[in-house]
A and B are shown apart, each in its own frame.
Chain A
Amino acid sequence: MLRLDRTTYDAIVAHAKRDHPDEACGIVAGAEGSDVPSRHIPMINAAGSPTFYEFDSTELLALYKDMWARDEEPVVVYHSHTATEAYPSRTDIGLANEPGAHYVLVSTAVHGNSEGPVEFRSYRIIDGVVTEEEVSVDDTLLAPAEQ
Chain B
Amino acid sequence: MPIEVRIPTILRTYTGGEKAVDASGATLSALIDDLEANHPGLKDRLLDDGDLRRFVNVYVNDEDVRFTGGLETALNDGDQVVVLPAVAGGA
Contacts and interface: CB of A to CB of B under 8 A. Distances in A.
Whether A and B are associated in the same complex: the answer reads: yes
Interface of A: 23, 25, 27, 43, 47, 49-55, 57-58, 60-61, 64, 73, 77, 79, 81-84, 88-89, 91-92, 95-100
Given A57-B66, A60-B86, A82 B91 contact: yes
Contact of B91 (A23, A58, A99): A23
| Interface residues of chain B: helix, strand, loop or mixed (majority) | mixed
Most buried by B among A57, A61, A73, A81: A57
Contacts, number: 77
B57 A52 contact: no
A95 B57 contact: no
Contacts of A98: 9-10, 87
A135 to B, nearest CB: 19
A60 B87 contact: yes
A101 to B, nearest CB: 9
6 contacts: A25-B87, A61-B82, A89-B89, A95-B86, A95-B87, A97-B86
